[in-house]
Amino acid sequence: MTKRVVVASGYFNPLHYGHVSYLEKARDLGTSLIVIVNNDVQAALRRSKRAQAEDMTLPARERVKLVRSLQCVDAAVEAVDLDDSVAETLQLLHPDIFANGGGRAPAQQEVQVCQKLRIQMVDGLGIQLLSLAPYTQHYDWGKPRNESIIAALTGQQSPHLTDEPDAQKPFAEMWMGDHPSGPARVVSPGSSPRHDRVVHRSTSLQDVFHKTPSVLGPALQDAKQLPFLLKVLSIHKALSIQAHPDRDLASRLHRERPDIYKDPNHKPEIAIALTDDFQALCGFREVSEIVQILEYLPEAVAIVGPDSLESLKAAIGDQQAESIALKNAYTRLMHAPEQDVAEQLKLLHARAQQPSPAAPPNIKELCELVCTLHAQYENDIGIFAALLMNYARLKVGECLYMAQNVPHAYIAGDIVECMACSDNVVRGGLTPKFKDVEVLCAMLRYEGGPPATVKPTVLDKGIKLYADPDIEEFQVMHLHLEAGGRQHRLFSSEGPAMALNLKGAGTVTISGETRDVTPGKVFMFAAGVEPEIHAKTEMDVFVACCPPQYFQTPHASPAHK
């Protein structure tokens, strides 16, 4: 067996579990581990540069003895350097690998020595927590700047702006992940997302995963990607009616049209309401209810055809026949001539403005929805498509589940959304964008029934878990902490966790290191990290991670490009 000597370094003042984890990972890189412990001169130099001195100051000889006692360490030596690097000591030891913890970037002198002596450099083995600046999307359906929770969380509201066009700029989505369409950035501790000092060894979460994949854990470090994407959405007007393809279809679409379908992954997703009366369309209604709606709204019958209505009536109670009749009706609707759609929508809108007093509540509610959508999209075929879909209105904390190949659209409100890491969308209405009608009609699940939901499980006081056996890649925890409350929790032993502090202020502590948490703060915890969250005021924190069963079977990488 070829011997590979690894060198790691640090102050270890005091020694804590985060150091032990870093050194264990360093030891795994080779056959023996030598640890360089920064000397007392360096420690004094470090203290002089810091606003606050270390809580504990141990002389170098004691720190060397402590490090040497660790089972993973073969030898520990005191640095001979007098600056803030270990370059001279590295040159004397001449190892095969120099493993940096990640608390600081390697000094230029260290880089030069490694290049000169051909020492392999591995960065970031000690990273336990990354502070992130999320990526903001400004789609036109987003709420205006000073009304959007996205702008509030990212510190971009401007109350002094009223009539200026910039005040109306839409803030639609906040992405917390590594998807190439909107990767989060790594920022230095305590800095503002708007005026931050970006950690200069990387500019995006993608870069971190490629340079220091160990933060993802052994099961994910080869893929160098997160399997999930956490978002917040702030919805002013309806999003497009859309569906997300399953893995096989996503792979084919990406291969054939990569300009439209950006990746080969599927995209199951959940939406947790942050506001009461969050509104959405999700899945097809019961066929019996669709028949009732068509009988009240003859304009819709003119689009799908009287024969489609008769087929739906005849199919009620026969699951296979319902699916066939529903597919035929929807396909007929989506292929209706534009002139017919415009003429019948004009009549439908007039009817919806003055529904019959004898109409049942669901018809009156649907008429209100037609008026809303008509004001936003006027002659769009999606207004007719909405008649066939469930109209869901959720309260805070309730959760919708959008599986693959299920049509859906968000109408209004604010949500936390989590999904498999993909941006694949097949659109079918309520949008000026490309509508891939043929693909959509062929791919959908033509199953009538109530909208799919995820009912949270209460794990402990103030902790809810949103998870479903059908969802492989992710689960979401909601932590509610009263002022003064604490939670010490391991979110995932084998993978990373993405955390958003939605409301309130407090701290997060890992291995003795404490960072302040304010509204909108986003953290990624490395695999196996157990943070302690302390609430100074009432807090709401959402945390996404892979469920335990995800690591029990191998999974293909999303293969982003």
Task: List pLDDT tens digits, range 40-92.
Answer: 999 998 888 765 545 568 999 999 999 999 999 999 999 999 999 999 999 99
- Phi first, then psi: give them for residue 73, nearest 5 degrees: -100, 125
DSSP H/E element including 368: helix 361-377
* pLDDT the model gives residue 199: 37
Q: How far apart are CA 462 and CA 186, in angstroms?
A: 29
Secondary structure in 3-state letters for 249-266 = HHHHHHHHCCCCCCCCCC
| pLDDT at residue 288, rounded to an integer | 97
DSSP 3-state assignment of 333?
A: helix
Q: Which uninterrupted H or E stretch holds 66?
A: helix 60-68
Residue 297 DSSP code:
-
- What pLDDT score was predicted for residue 218? 86
pLDDT of amino acid 374: 97
SS3 396: coil
Backbone torsion region of residue 274, taken as left when φ is above 0, otherwise alpha when ψ lies between -120 and 50, otherwise beta: alpha
Q: In this structure, are residues 161 and 137 in contact, taking their beta carbons and an 8 Å threshold? A: no
Cα–Cα separations (whole angstroms), residue 327 to 76, 120, 337, 401, 473: 70, 59, 18, 22, 30
| pLDDT the model gives residue 200 | 39
pLDDT at 139: 95
The DSSP-derived string for 137-158 is E--TTBEEGGG-HHHHHTT---
**Residue numbers of the chain with a pLDDT score lower than 50:** 53, 189-202, 561
In the beta sheet, which residues pair with residue 508? Answer: 515, 533
Which member of 104, 194, 427, 445 is catalytic? 427
- As a whole number of angstroms, the distance between CA 489 and CA 486 comes to 10
- pLDDT number for residue 68: 95
**Distance, CA of 42 to CA of 36 (rounded, Å):** 12
Domains and CATH numbers, the chain: 5-126 (3.40.50.620), 128-166+173-228+455-560 (2.60.120.10), 255-443 (1.10.441.10)
pTM: 0.85
Q: Is 4 among the catalytic positions?
A: no
Q: How high is the mean pLDDT of the chain?
A: 91
